[in-house]
Structure 1
Amino acid sequence: MLNDNEVLQNLLERYDYGGAYTLLVNMKLEHSDVAILTRSCRYAINFDFESARHILNKISDETKSMSEYAELNKNLLALIDGESEAVFSELMENLKIKLINDEYIDFLGRVYRFKEAVFKYMFVKKHIDRRKFTLKIDMMSKRSQLKVLRKKYKIFNNNIVYALTIYMNKYQKDDYKMMEIVKILNSERMTELIELRNESIVGHGFTGVSRTDIGRVYGNPYSVLDDFSACLEKLEIDLSRYKYSEINSFILKLASTVRTEVYYSDTAKFE
């Protein structure tokens, strides 16, 4: 039979922070630093960074002095501010986690969102005189970009990705890196992958999606991550990889130091 530490480790390997937190609550450790960190991750992994940071701030001063905490807190602030490298890294991590957990419809939803975000990011890079900018600026909104496309470039397609594709093919065809990204994101297999999402129950249809369906149109699903990484590299966006794997190591590090009161000893097994 698995002991509690092994169960926790297994849950973390699948990034199941809800399950891990429930385990800690059942062990009467809901107020421990390891539980606070785990609960924070449960919100962060669902893109609720404000709540994740609010919960994380409840952690003890001793843990706040650790470098792992400082790095995580810094990352959450960057996500809240909409810093491009932090946000794109988070999307990539989320895509990977959806694959690991066989959540293929959610995976396809993230694929569509990632493609749109990259197109919008490229458009903004061509229209503001700054190397770095927050993704929360108004120019990143669909409304603002469609307005510019209509007024300045006479492009009237209401589908933002289609409209930006027209713009790039017409006005940025000499930008080799940008056109390489467009080629990847508008490839036949990427289009078929997004069509799977559109035909699914979270799109415009009523079907489910399996790993076999994704493999049929794209091959190994992890190839999607490789292609997205290539796009970000061409945009000179530095990816922060293995964020949640590193957090999991931090959680297990804290769990290994948990000391419980005698009256909890029959429940808590961390030593």
Structure 2
Amino acid sequence: MIKSYDVIVKLIDRYDYGGALDILNEKGLENTDAATIIKSCKYAVNFDFETAYNILMHLSNEKKEKKIVVNLKRNLKDLMNGDPNAIFSELIENIKFQIVNEEYIDFLGRVYRFKEAILKYIFVKEHINRTKFSFLIDAMSKKRILKILRKKYKIFNSNLIYAISTYINKYLSEKKKYVNIVRLLNSEKMTSLIELRNSSIVGHGFIGVSREDISRAYGNPYNIIDDYKFCLKLLDINVESYKYSRINDYVKKELYDITYDNSKSINVKYCT
């Protein structure tokens, strides 16, 4: 036997909010404020930010006023609006989840999408030249970008990453920050990593991926997060680090108060 609190903590630390919520539901604690926040996170990590936001409306009035909840609601609104700072920060967190949970194929999928997102952001930001920017605008679509690249810039490569890289090297070479970003994103080690992705189930093949494979291609997987943060810094993107770690610490304190301080200690059989 092991206390449910300890099991839930392990699940939360691995960002398995669905698993933590299942235990709380089994114990009749699904309507607690802690469960409500966990449920919100469950949807947020799957990029359903609107549902995540609406769930927080069910918190008690006392918890709605807490600084961490107010900040979370503000962040979810920014995500719903496609704010670049919020979106890129969320993507960074998402990549970290895959490393923690050793889900390396999904990790490679996120890495590829992040690389693509940075390049799309640079192109659209330069092309439309507007101060207010959102990831939700039509100009961010792959089809639209490739059409503009063909029609206006005579770049006919159908691979979005290579097409935008060509555009930057050809038309934005005086902007060193962009050139440095492209150089890093198209480096030999990044190319090796993308080749792993292409050979996996999220690409075009069926080859498995281990941590050792990633380490041989790029080094420590967390190095990729550091390199992406470097790119975002060059783009003046403010990355919010440890968002979910802060939420987890708050929720664990709330759960501790429920299961221990109030003498409502709950137990569950834990099978290994």
Quickly name the TM-score band, shorter chain normalised.
over 0.9
**How far is the alpha carbon of 1:2 from its aligned partner?**
3.7
Q: After the TM superposition, which residues 9-48 of structure 1 pair with which residues of structure 2 at under 5 Å, given as runs?
A: 9-48=9-48
Equivalent residues of 2:259, 2:265 under 8 A apart:
no
Shift of 1:117: 0.4
Alignment of 1:119-268 (within 5 A): 119-258=119-258, 265=264, 267=266
Listed one character per residue, the Cα deviations across residues 132-176 of structure 1 (whole Å, up to 9, x for unaligned) are 411111111112211211111111111111111111111111110
Query: Retained in 2: the 8 A contact 1:120–1:140?
Result: yes
Distance 1:5 1:191 in 2: 43
RMSD: 1.9
**1:128 Cα shift?**
2.5
Using the TM superposition, give the Cα deviation of residue 32 of structure 1 relative to its aligned residue in structure 2, in angstroms.
Answer: 0.9
CA shift digits 1:170-210 (9 cap, x unpaired): 11111100000000100011011011011002210011111
Aligned length: 267
Matched with 1:88 is 88
Q: Which residue of 1 aligns with 2:51?
A: 51
2:127 match: secondary structure: coil
1:200-254 deviations in Å (ceiling 9; x for gaps): 0221001111101101111111111111010000000000000000110121232
Cα deviation digits, residues 41-92 of structure 1 (max 9, x gap): 1111111112211222211111101111101111111111100000000000
Q: Does 1:106 pair with 2:106?
A: yes
Distance in 1 between residues matched to 2:267 and 2:78, nearest whole Å: 35
Report which stretch shifted further, 2-11 or 207-216. 2-11
Flag structure 1 segments of 5+ consecutive residues without an equivalent: none
List gaps (5 residues or longer) in structure 2: none
In 2, Cα distance between the equivalents of 1:153 and 1:237? 27
| Alignment TM-score, normalising by the size of structure 2 | 0.93
Measure how far apart 1:266 and its partner are. Answer: 6.9
Q: Deviations over 1:68-119 (max 9, x none)?
A: 1101111111111100000000000010110011000000000000000000
- CA–CA distance in 1 between the matches of 2:115 and 2:265? 51
Aligned-pair distance for 1:259? 7.7
Mapped partners of 1:144, 1:54: distance in 2: 32
Amino acid at match of 2:53: R
Partner Cα distance (2:180, 2:155) in 1: 22
Return the offset for 1:34. 0.8
Percent identity between matched residues is 52
Q: 2:259, 2:201 → 1: CA distance?
A: 47
1:22 CA drift (Å): 1.2
CA distance in structure 1 between the partners assigned to 2:217 and 2:255 by the alignment: 42
Q: TM-score, normalised by structure 1?
A: 0.93
Distance across 2 between alignment mates of 1:167 and 1:266: 61
